[in-house]
Amino acid sequence: MDLADRTVGFVLLLFSVSLFSYYTFWVIITPFVDSDHFVHGFFPAREYAILIPAFAGVTLLSLIMIFVGVVLLRSGKSKSKTA
């Protein structure tokens, strides 16, 4: 395995673990901490804990559906030219 591939994989793993830890702490731990504690300054409002993943999921599904649609349209044009 190439060193660059391992480095990219390590960076992506580190990013994913960091994001998961941040989100988990934000959603599970902060509701039990006093509202005037300094920790709440590191996190957005709790409403965004649902809105951000929902928006990301809808965006991801939309992009996947657009990709599938483009592939189907292109494959339909290539079949009609050969027939």
Q: How do the pLDDT tens digits run along the chain, 83 residues long? A: 688 899 999 999 999 999 999 999 999 999 999 989 999 999 999 899 999 999 999 999 999 999 999 999 998 877 766 65
| pLDDT computed for residue 3 by the predictor | 83
Q: Which long-range contacts (CB under 8 A, 24 or more apart) does 73-79 make?
A: none
Of 23, 30, 32, give the one whose Cα is nearest residue 51: 23
Give the DSSP letter of residue 27: I
Q: What is the pLDDT of residue 76?
A: 81
Does the pTM surpass 0.75? The reply is no
Predicted confidence at residue 77, as pLDDT, reads 78
Residue 67 is predicted with a pLDDT of 97
